[in-house]
Amino acid sequence: MFAFLIHFLVMTGIFAIVALSLNFQVGLTGLSNFGQAAFMMIGAYTSALMYTAGIPFIFGVLAGMVISSLFALIIALPSSNLRADYWAIVSIAAAESLRLFVNNEKWLAEGPFGLRGIPRPLSSLFGDNYAVFYLFFVLACLGLVYFALERLNKSPFGRVLRGLRETEDLMEALGKNVFRFKAIAMIIGGLVAALGGSLYAHYITFISPETFAPEVTFLVWTMIIVGGSGNAKGVMVGALVITLLNTSTRLLKDFLYLPTSLVAALRTLSIGLLTIVFVVVRPQGILPERKHVVSYSGGEEGSETTMPGRALGGGGR
Amino acid sequence: MLDVRNIDKAFGGLQALRDVSLTVEEGTITGLIGPNGSGKTTLFNVITGFYEKDRGTVTLRGRSIGDLPPHSIADRGMVRSFQIPQVPRGMTVMENMLVAGQGLAGENPIAVFLRGSAVRRQDQEMVGRAEVLLDRVGLLKQRDELTGSLSGGQVKLLAIAQTLMTDADLILLDEPTAGVDLALTDQIMDLLKDIHSEGKTMMLVEHKMRVISGVCEYVYVLDAGEVIASGEPAAVQSDQRVIEAYLGAEESQKARGWR
Amino acid sequence: MQVTQLIFNILTRASELALIGISLTLVYDLLDFASFAQNSFATLGAYFVLFLSVGLGMNLIVAAVLAVIITGVLGMLTDRAIFRFLRQSSAFIRMVASIGLAQGIRSLVQVLWGGQIQDYGLGIQEPLTILGATVTPIRILIVVVAAVAMLGFHLFLHRTNLGRSIRATSDNRELAEATGIDTERVVLYVWFLACAFAAIGGILIGLETQLRPSMGQVLLLATFCVVILGGIGNVYGAMVGSLIFAAAENIGLAINIGGFQFPVRYKPALAFIVLILTLLIRPTGVLGRKES
């Protein structure tokens, strides 16, 4: 039971990181990025391959972030002034093409067979208690990501992002290079997602192109819709709820004697239904986005008033 | 200050602007009037870089800005407001003002972390400036309200305050008093005169003759994409061609069943 | 490769894509959003036929007709249950809802009929040789059915009252309302049509290949490509777009310049390339009109 709890928390932590990354792109900037799984894949594969090759863990992770930044740029470049649905299609297409590439080019990373036995950093130090150590490690990363992204959100940079979410033209008229801001938002989201991917790879120790199918992206989207798009705490709650749903149904399998594939399908079904229910009934999520009150001292306090019905940016047009 | 020459702009088969030229002298308030659909907002969009012109030049203080994207033009000191106000509903009034600040170090994400205290200090300055401007337009009390909760008139005031926040020298306002009641129109007129007296140059697109005669020093009249008259407000208002243009527009709208 | 073979391959591929493409573009046009669910409705239609014909022993054609109708009705139901409440929401939210719906339908199919590969039990087909091209009767059927469906749709749009109402609502919704057209009803019928078309498309694909829960979704990129290429919101655009896309696919894969050939295993990436090119060169599409 304890082991399950640790596992659940680690997965929650990892997905919370990815959810925060997607929130930064979707919730704050209004970019409908449906290719997040690809960024995770880049981070996962890069750090796995590099660490296996003997390069220090941190460099592998950083390299993954750099490559995902490039990929983010590739998506942002042709898409910048496209509306939300085009962004969605282009990002899925790009992600799937990348996945296809990794799957086909066996010399790169074993293609469809994936990478097994990915080494875990510092595993020799912790032996049996590794999972607990890893949990703290993930939570530390999560804390870092949370504070960093929140800091950006409250900064002038974050204001421009939130401004171009709904009113791109206004931002341009006020002298902001909208394309640059969108590209940077994609890059930041991308490299945080890559971090999530790396953490995933070294925990589960097995990854393949199948691991990063579009379903993963949809899962993270459900997290931000259910949790509250535009609210960092909200999407973390969303990650908790969805991961709970995900992992507990795995437990159910042992009690209900249902075939694994059926349980998996039921799980996807309930997540799809959850998305629909929330979109229709409570699009702002469990914790809606809060308005930013700027105090005179230049810092910020959150406000008690939550914003009614403000949900899911989706393109500044 | 602003020199616009021989602008052509067509959309598909429709010629929206035809050989339009105008000049805005530094320190003046210039008006741009014309019947609905005459191309006023299109001209604004071309001048501020939102539309690409088919032909012609746009020069600001002697430097060509005709091919620049809107954000670069704003950089050069010319800002605009929008006919249908662009209101980011998810942001507060104060944030709307802060976002209008120019040259903010905090807009660089790296600077946010590496030069945190400088960014904070700049933010503080901006807040101070914003409060002064908000007070000026009478929106200080609403500083922490979401812009979605503002009335139509308040939104117009906020838009003007935003342009002031940018510290631009040339301000283009697209129908600053559209849909606004009489009292507020007067208030906005006084505000514009105030801004003018501080040395700012302005160009307004307007429908209300009161505003034009009360505020503008020079007026251009646009009809069906062409400049048909220009001069001082009184002269232009009694110009036969202008009267016909407005009447003609009314007639054709009646014929199309719009009125 | 023989030219006639190439043409026939293109026609077959275009037929499958065009029907789902029309489904997509109808929803785009009248409901103003990108529905990721149409491909799943295609899957659903195919599986209904499986259930009715292989499961219940019905005649295949009867099963197909029934399946199309059932899927169409289900489309109407999803509008009443979901999208009706999102009329005032942004197109983006409707799109997100459709993504949830797509996932839901796909997993429902898996729950009900299992994830294994299945087929309609038609057995191996004897290929015929027509004008030098090797074709199976099934593939001829596909092209014929698709052509008939599209022709029928064209006639429907221009010769029937409902068709006229749909075109009017598509052109200008307020004006249509003002002239007494019940646009809510039109929307409902469009959902029926869109999902019915998707079902036909799915059934044809199932006839040619096999059934699996992901069969509709794997075509997501291709169908969106077809619609964007042809011009969003234009049903004739979807037809044209599918021909161009199928041609690009087949010719692109057949080209052999000095030994360099586009690798077959990257066929899905072709859709991505066509998409990017379209967006860069002519984002409104070949017959494009509606741009928000």
Check the CA dihedral A142-A144-A146-A149 and report its sign. negative
The token duo for A293 is 């009150």
Range of the domain at C135: 15-213
* Residue A69 with chain B: CB contacts under 8 Å: none
* Residues C171-228 pLDDT 10s: 888 888 888 888 888 999 999 999 999 999 999 999 888 898 988 888 898 999 999 8
Query: Is residue C235 domain-resident?
Result: no
Identify the helix (H) or strand (E) that includes residue A308.
none
User: How many angstroms away from the CA of B50 is the closest CA of chain A?
Assistant: 8
Instruction: Please name the amino acid found at residue A14.
Output: I
CB proximity B92 to A under 8 Å: yes
Rounded to an integer, the average pLDDT of B46-51 is: 90
Distance of residue A310 Cα from the nearest chain B Cα, in angstroms: 7
Count structural domains, chain C. Answer: 1
Chain A: list its partners (3+ Cβ pairs within 8 Å): B, C
Nearby residues of B21 by Cβ (< 8 Å), 6 or more positions away: B4, B5, B6, B7, B56, B227
What's the CA gap between C162 and C170, in Å, rounded? 12
A–B contact: 3+ Cβ pairs < 8 A: yes
Collapsing DSSP states into helix, strand and coil, what is residue B5?
strand
How much is the average pLDDT of A176-190?
A: 93
Evaluate whether C279 touches A90 at the Cβ level (below 8 Å): yes
Between A122 and A204, name the one with better pLDDT.
A204
Q: Compute the C-alpha angle C217/C221/C227, nearest 5°.
A: 115
CA–CA distance, B170 with B202 (Å, rounded to integer): 6
Q: Which chain A residues contact residue C219 at CB under 8 A?
A: none
Residue C177 domain-assigned (yes or no): yes
Q: What local confidence, expressed as pLDDT, does residue B257 receive?
A: 58
Sequence-ordered list of residues with C-beta below 8 angstroms from that of B180, at least 6 positions apart, any chain: B152, B153, B156, B188
Instruction: With CA atoms as reference, report the closest residue to C109 among C59, C42, C209, C19.
Output: C42
Res A303: pLDDT: 46
Residue of A23, A162, A291 to mutate, testing the B interface (most B Cβ within 10 Å of its Cβ) = A291
Query: A2-306 belongs to which CATH class?
Result: mainly alpha
- Contact list, C224 vs chain A (CB under 8 Å): 89
Domain boundaries, chain A: 2-306
Judge contact between B147 and B159, C-beta under 8 A.
no
pLDDT beneath 70, residues of chain C: 1, 256, 258-259, 288-292
Domains along the sequence of chain B with CATH = 2-87+168-255 (3.40.50.300), 89-149 (no CATH)
Residue B59 has pLDDT above 70, yes or no: yes
In residues, how long is chain A? Answer: 317
pLDDT score at A315: 37
Rounded to whole angstroms, the Cα distance separating A274 from A267 reads: 10
What is the average per-residue pLDDT within B161-184? 89
With contact defined as beta carbons under 8 Å apart, do A203 and A14 qualify?
A: yes
Q: What confidence score (pLDDT) does residue C188 get?
A: 92
Q: Give the whole-angstrom CA distance, residue C18 versus residue A261.
A: 32
Q: What is the reported pLDDT for C8?
A: 87
Contact list, A294 vs chain B (CB under 8 Å): 92, 94-95, 98, 123, 127, 144
In a domain, C70, yes or no: yes
Q: Which chain B residue shows the shortest CA-CA distance from A297?
A: B124
Residue whose C-alpha is closest to residue C78's, from C32, C27, C29: C27
| C232 CB-contact burial (10 Å; exposed 0-12 / middle 13-18 / buried 19+) | buried
Residue position matching structure tokens 């990854």: A207
Residue C34 to residue A89, Cβ atoms within 8 A: yes
Give the residue-averaged pLDDT of A104-111: 83
- CB-nearest to A172 from B70, B89, B144 is B70
**Quick check: C103 and A313 CB within 8 A?**
no
Q: Is C172:C289 a contact under the CB 8 Å cutoff?
A: no
DSSP alpha helix (H) spans, chain C: 3-31, 38-49, 60-81, 91-113, 137-159, 161-171, 173-178, 183-208, 220-230, 235-254, 267-281
Residues in B closer than 8 angstroms to A155, CB to CB, are 106, 109, 112, 119
Q: Cα(A82)–Cα(A33) distance, rounded to whole angstroms?
A: 12
- Which whole number is the average pLDDT over A31-52? 93
Model confidence over A250-292: pLDDT tens digits? Answer: 666 666 677 777 888 888 898 899 999 999 999 899 999 888 8
